[in-house]
Structure 1
């Protein structure tokens, strides 16, 4: 589980994907679910998949490869934050090449900055994600092992490039019908330089609350790749019984749920908390004893609980 270990040379970050300059400039205009898509004629038979704060995703047939792909339309230019996240994701994914990380096959954009309102990112098509899967069915131990193996394999590659994902959660783990898993959504990712102190540089508000490591919530002295490992532990727990491990309703509720399971932090841990209000709050609480994972998940494989214990720990 040494996330910082190097990966094989064949899986080192690669050159950038195809850009608009490599795609014929003529475009087809098609309305999908009330939105206009302007893409290369290479992509036909557009079909709506879903949408979110980032934009809309459709599936399409790539007439060259004869495979269906996903095309994500992003309209980020009205908000600086969306621009930054979009650029960050493109820069990272254009250099990553790994079986367990979503790829960028092409980027379709306007020929000039003045004309650029939307960006279209072409990626491989994945039928669902772990969040949707856990809403509909229980996973066998074999499925849990296989999904976890792929998550950690992809995360090892990410960490080998000194990148922190910072938003690992079930909905960011894409799946297809053959149980292949790919990590997606690098909009909150950051490069972590182990030679420098990141205290005050890395922001607190990262990761969906339920999967957020306590050192982020408590504004500890910097943080490391361990924040992603914590998220993986929360995901593993959710795969064991289809329920989130720490479904906090708000900041304090989230923190209390964590402490009720992992116990109160040690004096050494408290010294690492630079947020005085957070430290004072923890000191005001009655000491909490760490729970036994076997009590919380009585039917789980002991090896899974051993890994869970190593991942979800203050």
Structure 2
């Protein structure tokens, strides 16, 4: 394969000559991204160079997981797909090139642009998130890092879920889920309360909580729970949802977390209608069902798709499930040389089967036209007017975090903060 090189930000890209550089998109903790044109097809694509893959075992495993999962979910319209991938030297490489669809922006940029979003936008975006998540959950995979920055949007308001580096398998057998917190550094603003409170029993409901946080952020134009630390994050959830009942608390909370919550004044629930007075009654009802403190009572992705708020788009026959569950057996190895071999194997396997159809072929979102041309135009304007300065990773501490009246007069319990963040479980 003939290659050529060009600089992108602080990296040198070495790729197939058919890819011609268009512009820089951004960089994050795990790589650099640029836009390019495939001169053979005329298609504009995004090329991501994942760097320093083998400097640490945790980075190698994250890269391996990402490649395997993207291949497993290839073909679904609401999940980003790999169009091509490459490594510069099979025997000695420390970076991976992933070629994917070029999307104009992510949902974080759309919200940040302050471009007015309509109820039709909210419905269409939430529907597509849930449609993609149904496919992911059907393979017994939890995404674990759903947030606006991991939801890519194009000019037609089509949305794709990306970044599977923190994904994990799910089993109905609780003992099989031990070690769930390993590597778990997902953004705290979108982290389900049961994850902070227990680290023991977890379900697909953790992703549904994240969907609820994303929905609230669209409705309000800013994150709903912007904790400065994990104790503050828990406090902000309690201040809005109210104190959970004793049965729920015992089921999802560790002894230390239970004791902390019981030590606080009993808090009432603040109605979402009060927080989002312009939201429709159906939007508020769905938000309440997504942001239920009790994971057992939180709606599933199937129930979310069937909610009346998404009736304009819901069509069960056009909401596929995966034909097989994902095999996470590769996770047992922590040897960098073995993970390097497995990544090279994935790249070679992909290239060998590149001409074959991967994943599902399901004809697209048949009701996409329900989003008006005016609504699509508004989102396109927002996407094009938002600079691609940097790939969003972990958000910074809230610039104007609300005063926490529960803990403002006391120092944060460092042991509790460690436990809620998961550090105690990883030690």
TM-score normalised by L of structure 1: 0.89
Distance 1:130 1:217 in 2: 25
- Higher fraction of helix: 2
SS at match of 2:72: coil
- Structure 1 segments, 4+ long, off by >4 Å, are none
1:232/1:58 Cα in 2 relative to 1: closer, same or farther (>3 Å)?
same
Q: How many angstroms does 1:206 deviate by?
A: 4.0
Deviation at 1:119, TM superposition (A): 0.7
State the partner residue of 1:17: none
Once the two structures are superposed, residues 102-139 of structure 1 have per-residue CA deviations (whole angstroms, 9 ceiling, x without a partner) of 001111103423x2121100100001011011011221
Provide the C-alpha distance between the structure 1 equivalents of 2:194 and 2:228, rounded to a whole number of angstroms: 18
Matched, 1:134 2:114: no
Aligned match of 1:63: 39
**1:311 matched residue in structure 2:** 290
What SS is found at the alignment partner of 1:197?
A: helix
SS in 1 for 2:278: coil
Counterpart CA distance in 1 for 2:230 and 2:120 is: 35
Equivalence for 1:275: 254
**Are 2:104 and 2:153, in contact at CA under 8 Å, matched by a contact in 1?**
yes
In 2, the alpha carbon distance for the partners of 1:30 and 1:220 equals 45
Look up the match of 2:94.
117
State the distance in 2 between where 1:74 and 1:194 align. Answer: 33
In the alignment, the residues of structure 2 paired with residue 272 and residue 201 of structure 1 have an alpha-carbon distance, to the nearest angstrom, of 19
Q: How does 1:67-146 map to 2 (within 5 A)?
A: 67-75=43-51, 76-96=53-73, 97-113=75-91, 115-136=92-113, 137-146=115-124
Correspondence list, 1:91-240, <5 A:
91-96=68-73, 97-113=75-91, 115-136=92-113, 137-198=115-176, 200-203=178-181, 205-240=184-219
Query: Of the two structures, which has the highest relative contact order with CA contacts closer than 8 Å and spacing of 6 or more?
Result: 2
User: What is the aligned residue count?
Assistant: 289
Task: Give the secondary structure class of the aligned counterpart of 1:121.
Answer: strand
Change (3 A) 1:37 1:66: same
In structure 2, do the counterparts of structure 1 residues 87 and 199 end up closer, same or farther at CA, with 3 Å as the change threshold?
A: closer
Work out the CA distance in 2 between the residues paired with 1:34 and 1:293.
Answer: 45
Cα contact 2:170–2:203 (8 A) shared by 1: yes
Q: Distance in 2 between matches of 1:266 and 1:52?
A: 41
Aligned residue in 2 for 1:257: 236
3-state DSSP of counterpart to 1:105 = strand
CA distance in 2, matches of 1:203, 1:219: 10
Give yes or no for contact 1:138–1:242 (8 Å, CA) kept in 2.
Answer: no
Cα distance, 1:198–1:262 mapped onto 2, change above 3 Å: farther
Deviation of residue 196 (structure 1)?
Answer: 4.3
Render the CA deviation track for 1:204-225: whole Å, top value 9, x for unaligned: 7342111110001112531101
Q: Which residue of 2 aligns with 1:20?
A: none
* 1:159-214 Cα shifts (integer Å, max 9, x gaps): 11110000000000000111110000100000112244345421073421111100
Structure 2 contact 174–201 (Cα < 8 Å) conserved: no
Where 1:156 maps in the other structure, the secondary structure is: helix
What is the alpha-carbon distance in structure 2 between the residues aligned to residue 255 and residue 301 of structure 1?
27
2: CA distance, partners of 1:196 / 1:252: 26
Aligned to 2:339: none
- CA apart distance, 1:82: 1.4
- Shift of the 198–249 alpha-carbon distance from structure 1 to 2, 3 Å rule, reads farther
